[in-house]
A = this chain, B = another copy of it.
Amino acid sequence: MDTFEQLKAPLQAFADERDWDKFHSPKNLSMALSVEASELVECFQWLTEEQSKNLTPEQYQAVIDEMADVQVYLLRLATKLDVNLLQAVEQKMVKNAAKYPVNLVKGSAKKYTEYEQDEKVDDKGQNE
């Protein structure tokens, strides 16, 4: 069964029991989601990249809890806007594959807009 769909109902029940549904407009949920994403960033902000790969058990549990909070608000937003997250990810992967062709981006972290610019420069070069 689709895990995303399976989690929506208990989260809706949790909000309903507390009469919190009235606060959960999409606008507000996007704010709450970004706040949780920043609490995740906070776990890593003073660590080196190497340290972020070797968390202590206490750090690891804190990270898992913040990841769960992000997921919870993403699922709440998906419920409110009637979004199927599995389909959304699958469709986005198709778009991303087109936006970042392997032969152009391999090993580089430049943004896709920069590739488009590079490509235009190349095209111009070939035309001259």
A residues sitting closer than 8 Å to B (CB atoms) are 1-4, 7, 10-11, 14, 17-20, 22-23, 25-28, 30-35, 37-50, 52-53, 55, 60, 63-65, 67-72, 74-75, 77-78, 80-81, 83, 85-86, 88-89, 91-93, 95-97, 100, 102, 105-107, 109
Contact = CB atoms under 8 A, between A and B. Distances in A.
A33 B70 CA distance: 10
B45 A35 contact: yes
Given A3-B4, A40-B34, A81-B60, A28 B45 contact: yes
A20 B22 CA distance: 28
Interface centre among A22, A33, A43 (most CB of B within 10 A): A33
A39 B12 CA distance: 25
B17 A102 contact: yes
